[in-house]
Amino acid sequence: MRTVEHVEHIEEIRRAYYHEKKSIRAIAREQGHGRDVIRAAIAGTAPELPRYRLRGTKPQPVRETIAPIADAWLEADREAPRKQRHTAKRVYERLVAERGYTGSERTVRLSVQTWKKAHRSEAVGFVPLAYAPGAEAQCDGGGGAVRRGWRRSATGARPWCASRAWSTKRRSSVCGCAIP
């Protein structure tokens, strides 16, 4: 079954149906399109492309053989420091070196990815701000040289700036400088 890609194909289908008075089945046989595509072209709507639908899970024999080994390594890594844990590439290299694995790296990566999704923690990685607008202030400071007029008067000056939280107004901040 061919898909209707060009306006010329749609025009041929309509000409055959309306002017030559051919049946949908005859047009489909002559032009090589499916009857659903012919009906859509006659109605003037864009024919819907057929989509692949996976009916069930596919067997994965290679992944099933390496999954227990990789799972054991990744489970042991949960107690290790973050920088010392296995990456998918490291799991693949170790499988090749220790077990003589001849499969693709992509298969190992998918196995590691599904393991990580299954064992992901639900912990929240941030603490929300819980203070009322204007109730708290933020302060920042630094160090450097200060000039008064044309000459340099102090080298150990400590400039600072404080502002009220949640404020975007210019007058809500206070700045100063401590000169020794």
Closest to 164 in 3D by CA, of 130, 137, 141: 137
Q: How many residues does the chain have?
A: 180
Q: Looking at residues 73-78, what average pLDDT do you find?
A: 92
Q: Are 66 and 86 in contact (CB under 8 A)?
A: no
pLDDT digits (tens, 9 = 90+) for 88-134: 999 999 999 999 999 999 999 999 999 999 988 776 677 666 667 66
Q: Are 151 and 142 in contact (CB under 8 A)?
A: no
pLDDT digits (tens, 9 = 90+) for 133-158: 667 777 777 777 666 666 656 566 77
Q: Residue 164 corresponds to which tokens in the numbers above?
A: 């009220």
pLDDT category of residue 1 using cuts at 50, 70 and 90:
very low
pTM over 0.75: no
Identity (one letter) of the amino acid at 175?
C
The domain limits of the chain are 7-43, 61-118, 137-178
Closest to 30 in 3D by CA, of 40, 15, 45: 15
